[in-house]
Amino acid sequence: MSDQSNDTSSQHHSHDAHPTESLAQKAPPTAAHSHEHHTHQRGPAASPAAADVPEEAHDHSGGVLTESMAAGAAQADAHVAHAGHDAHAGHDAHAGHIDHTGHELMFRNRFWACLLLTVPVLFYSPMLQMWFGFTAPSFPGSNWIAPLFAFIIFIYGGVPFLQMAGPELRARKPGMMTLISLAITVAFLYSIAALWIDPAGGFFWEMALLIDVMLLGHWLEMRSVRQASGALNELAKLMPDTAERIRADGSTESVPTSTLKVGDLLLIRPGASVPADGEVVEGESHVNEAMITGESKPVDKAPDSRVVAGTVNGDGSLRVRVSAIGEETALAGIMRLVDQAQNSKSRTQVLADKAAGWLFYIALAAAIITGIAWTLATGFGVEVVQRVATVLVIACPHALGLAVPLVVAISTSLAAQNGILVRDRLALEEARNIDTIIFDKTGTLTEGKQGVVGIATVPGWSEDQALALAAAVEGDSEHIIAQAIRRAASERDLALPAVTEFSAIKGRGARATVENLTVHIGGPRLLEMLALTPPSALADFITQAEAKGRSVIHLVQGQEIVASFALADVIRPESAAAIQQLQEHGIEVVMLTGDSNAVAKAVAEELGINQYFAEVLPEHKDEQVAKLQAQGRKVAMVGDGVNDAPALTRADIGIAVGSGTDVAVESADIILVQSNPLDVVKIFTLSNATHRKMIQNLWWATGYNIVAIPLAAGIFANWGINLSPAVGALLMSISTIVVAINAQLLRRLPLDKTA
């Protein structure tokens, strides 16, 4: 906020030039609705409705929980037709945004169905019966139970992976889907052949479990995609569905917001949301603009003041002349910024991508060489087929497919236990590379609400005595300043004196009678009305408070000013420690705020922040992030307001405090549930530990193939070392167990000691 008024009834800005005014001109009116649906790493948009099987809806070269959607199906299904959106476009425009529930439900249903079908496959597997020493009940046709159920699993659960391998092959970039498809196909075909060649040698069970694991991974992926796609919808929800329009005869009518036109006169009742940008022509009130500006103070509105669509009116009625609707509103401008920031996000390459591609070529080459070499050496026969199948199965990406997702799942759970929710599964990996953190001041480093931060009294008066009297006088007021005074008195457990004859003095303060004495409370305009000047005992306090951009109100008993109170946005108790620890980690901390330079300087000095940006308009917050990124910095943004959403999305990592607005949370990669800035430090500790586990698992998942593939190819056959496809499947399963156990060790990370 660029100017701080000390007027007792408001302590707020008049905002003749509203900070969100220029947002409507930020992009062409049709920008928000002519765009292609964002395919951004946080929530790429693939259509759930294209088909039950998302043939080209994914680029799965990265494994079970790969990050991005391929352009094919996304472009075919995600281009939501936004044409024809009218004045209510801000509310309705994004109703058509792609919902990933369809894919999520498909993978979930197939996983549970295949898991149930896997039980009889395991139970009637000759190999498992031999290993575990049990015999399944036998009856006519029982030997066909495992093949029959495995066939159903292959068709119902495996075919989607075969179809998703198609885009990889057409793009000449075979990866995880191709390797999975090759492995389950070889396992399936070999097991069918083994029914006649070697009935005890098939491994339908391995194929079934592989399909189950992959279906589970894709189900989790679709769920995270769906959860990541709600930012624009949350913004749109700020707009009311209806508006109260005033007719020429003075009567009112309720009309859909979409029918409003520039020049319409609207009645905004107390507590109602403003349906369009406009100018107040009659009435006085204060409007809560926190959901738009991110700032804590409700803003006083009077004739000629501007109001913004999506904000909430206070306790007065306003008559507003509409000046902007639909795409021209400030809210629509913010929505465009969010959407543009999402679209500009680069795709992050999962570490497993390249490993899967390399493994595919290595496995395929090894299988071909094995087949040719043993055919030349011994002639083509069953043993050659077994060795080829063993090579392909032993290279099956169970461990590789789980190497990264298992670590991410455990680290996400560990983070949640420590008050951190990770929405973007790659955010933790990227956090270790962050060198600059931008904190939005209000609601992030501060509590986002006014509080008493200083009290000065004249001789003979104590702070508690003055605060109790002020709270008593403000007892009947619902004004934000009154609430702050009462809250401060409550925190000190003060007993309040009895008050009579309370009355509000419009625009100046309040008056009441206490023990037959008249008591006033208010700001500078109250002192003007009473023709009083602050005594020297309070003068220095007032000067220092105003220099820091703090609001000052005065307590007057009779004709004497007995105390002054400084009010400001209260700094969170954990903020200073969080800033210090981040700086000790070598991370530069930057503060960003729409408040005046005086307010920003005071907060920065108190927290030990060397660099800050004050009086930053909402659209410029996004630009500040982009400027720092242009300097080659890896930037994290911590914020909570709607106007923070574009910056949260633009940053390499967006971190939202949980007490913030829903849209800020939806736009972030990581959410601090407890709104504790110290949790930001935990993010970096967890990020480094998570990355180490990922690297360890990837090395194991690919490294064991360096030994296992040659063994499967039979290079030690002359020494009597031969691996059957079954043993290959067992080794592959063991590698998966090792990866899982190593990932579980991450749970021992002592995050509670970080802060």
Q: Is the pLDDT of residue 254 over 50?
A: yes
For domain 420-444+574-687, the question of CATH label 3.30.1370.60 is answered with no
DSSP string, 647-683: HHHHSSEEEEETTS-HHHHHH-SEEETT--THHHHHH
| pLDDT at position 322 over 80 | yes
Residue 554: band (very low, low, confident or very high) from pLDDT cuts 50, 70, 90? very high
Per-residue pLDDT for 2 more than 90? no
CATH of domain 447-571: 3.40.1110.10
DSSP string, 730-752: HHHHHHHHHHHHHHHGGGG--GG
Q: At what angle do helices 176-197 and 725-744 cross, to 10 degrees?
A: 140
Sign of CA dihedral 150, 156, 160, 162: positive
Question: Which residues is 242 bridged to in the sheet?
Answer: 256
Distances (CA, A) of 387 to 127, 185, 236, 370, 383: 18, 15, 59, 7, 6
pTM of the model: 0.52
Task: Please report the pLDDT score of residue 48 as a whole number.
Answer: 33
How far apart CA 290 and CA 270 sit, in angstroms, is 17
With beta carbons less than 8 A apart as the criterion, state whether 360 and 175 touch.
Answer: yes
pLDDT of the residue at 381: 61
Higher pLDDT, 488 or 5: 488
Task: Report how far apart the first and last C-alpha atoms of the chain are (Å, whole number).
Answer: 32
Query: pLDDT at position 548, please?
Result: 83
For the stretch 74-77, contacts whose Cβ atoms lie closer than 8 Å and that sit 24 or more positions apart, written own/partner, are 74/37, 74/39, 74/44, 74/45, 74/46, 74/47, 75/36, 76/47, 76/50, 77/46, 77/47, 77/49, 77/50
Max CA separation in the chain (angstroms):
115
User: Which residues sit opposite 522 in a β-bridge?
Assistant: 509, 554
Lowest-confidence segment of 151-160, 214-223, 319-328 by average pLDDT:
214-223
Q: How far is CA 111 from CA 159, 209, 507, in A?
A: 13, 10, 65
Please report the DSSP string for 510-535 in residue order.
EEEEETTEEEEEE-HHHHHHHT----
Q: Which of 353, 440, 569, 679 is catalytic?
A: 440
Q: Is the pLDDT higher at 312 or at 5? A: 312
Distance (Å, rounded) from C-alpha 34 to C-alpha 17?
30
Q: What are phi and psi of 233, to 5 degrees?
A: -65, -40
CA 654 – CA 629 distance, rounded (Å):
13
Residue-wise pLDDT tens digits, 197-242: 666 655 677 778 777 876 776 676 566 445 434 445 555 677 788 9
More confidently predicted of 392 and 682: 682
Between the CA atoms of 724, 725, 726 and 727, what dihedral angle is there, to the nearest 10 degrees?
A: 60
pLDDT of residue 88: 36
* Percent of the chain clearing pLDDT 90 (strictly above): 21
Cβ count near 516 (within 10 Å): 6
- Residue 245 has what pLDDT? 94
pLDDT at 137: 85
Residue 212 annotated in active site: no
Task: Cite the residue boundaries of each domain of the chain with CATH code 3.40.1110.10.
Answer: 447-571
pLDDT at 9 over 60: no
Which of these, 477, 420, 660, 681, lies nearest to 576 by C-alpha position? 681
pLDDT in tens, 308-317: 888 888 888 9
Pick 177 or 726 by higher pLDDT: 177
Type of residue found at 177 = M
DSSP for 257-310, written as a single string: GGG--TT-EEEE-TTPBP-SEEEEEE--EEEE-HHHH--SS-EEE-TT-EE-TT
Q: 739: alpha, beta or left, given left = phi > 0 and alpha = psi -120 to 50?
A: alpha
Average pLDDT estimate for 339-351: 40
Residue 283 has pLDDT above 90, yes or no: yes
pLDDT value, residue 723: 72
Q: Helix, strand or coil for residue 565?
A: strand
Q: What percentage of the chain carries pLDDT values higher than 70?
A: 71
* Mean pLDDT for the stretch of residues 83-87: 32
What stretches of 564-615 show up as alpha helix (H) in DSSP? Answer: 575-584, 597-607
Task: Give the side-chain half-sphere CA count within 13 A for 717.
Answer: 15
Each as own residue / partner, the long-range contacts of residues 456-460 (CB below 8 Å, 24 or more positions apart, any chain) are 456/537, 456/538, 456/541, 456/542, 456/563, 456/564, 457/537, 457/538, 457/562, 457/563, 458/535, 458/537, 458/538, 458/560, 458/561, 458/562, 458/563, 459/537
pLDDT in tens, 405-435: 667 667 766 776 677 777 776 777 789 999 9
SS (H, E, C) 483-513: HHHHHHHHHCCCCCCCCEEEEEECCCEEEEE
Query: Residue 379, exposed/middle/buried by CB under 10 A (0-12, 13-18, 19+)?
Result: exposed
CATH architecture observed for domain 240-342 = Distorted Sandwich (2.70)
Mean pLDDT of the chain: 75
Q: What is the residue whose two structure tokens read 């009294």?
A: 457
* The three-state (H, E, C) secondary structure of 619-646, written as one string: HHHHHHHHHHHHCCCCEEEEECCHHHHH
For the chain, residues classed under CATH 2.70.150.10 are 240-342
String of b and e for 535-558 (b: at least 16 CB within 10 Å)?
Answer: eebbeebbeebbebbbbbbbbbbe
Q: For 393-404, what is the mean pLDDT?
A: 69
